[in-house]
Amino acid sequence: MDTETFDNMAGGCSWVRDAEALGFVARDGAYHLNGTCLRLDRGWRTLTVARPETKGDPLRGQLGRPGLWKTVSVGRGRHVSVQRVWELPPMALEGASEDVDGGGQDAPRSAFQAALSWALATADGQTPEGWRGPPLHEVEAAIPPGAMTVRKGDLIHQGTLICTPDRLALVFPVLNRIPADLPAWRRKWLDAVLADAQTQWRLVRLGVAGANGSASVQAEVDLTGVPPALVEGMVKSSLAALQWVVQWLLRSADFIVDTRVASKALESA
């Protein structure tokens, strides 16, 4: 695919110019920079690390890391590997100013360029230098009524907003506790369902927090480092994604860890 065709798929080339201004180079229907690959995928701007890793656990070691990067499974059966991805929802750019900072020589000049700079700065798990979290009232104003509560039948889970000078995140419980004596086959099914959800649904990361009898499952979107122009759009997009993923998981996860309910089908699978 040539660059012109790729630009047309994007509905215009302003975001392409933004990517090129940061050093991305067009090749093979995508844009590449330092081992990352940028594509437009059904309106979402996605970055992936070029080469999947043959080893790794998509549910461990990523909760609390700054930014949108998460680990997903690639392939099937014995040929599964893991890959790190960063996904920017279309809503994040809606209403954001084209000129986000007035344009210092090295500063991002558009909302998308600022978003890409955020992605690159957090790729190694670090908070962008000089970033400070937005005021609490600004974040709360972007949260729709009822969006911090997820209901699925008789299951009700309350989310948490973390808004401090050095971190911005939205966190929802999926399982408040994983029984310490959970049979291995149930734990295997739980991990498989969580990994599938993390791979299938965008933006949200899932992970196991704690250990032994205090272990729990959390869903989060970490917005640490988000550019000021994207705060409102990212908060709304993140809550919509979290609502969907947590609702999708609640019943399945609760059933898997409920040892009072026998399941010959799952045990023998």
Chain segment 121-131, per-residue pLDDT in tens:
999 999 999 99
Consecutive H or E run containing 122: helix 111-122
pLDDT of residue 74: 79
143 by Cβ neighbours in 10 Å (0-12 / 13-18 / 19+) ranks as middle
The answer to whether 71 and 87 are in contact (CB under 8 A) is no
Mean pLDDT of 48-62: 75
Which pTM was predicted?
0.87
DSSP state of 196: H
pLDDT of residue 52: 64
Per-residue pLDDT reduced to its tens digit, 237-248: 999 999 999 999
Residue 140 backbone phi and psi in degrees, to 5: -60, -35
Mean pLDDT of 174-198: 91
- Distance in angstroms between the alpha carbons of the first and the last residue of the chain: 43
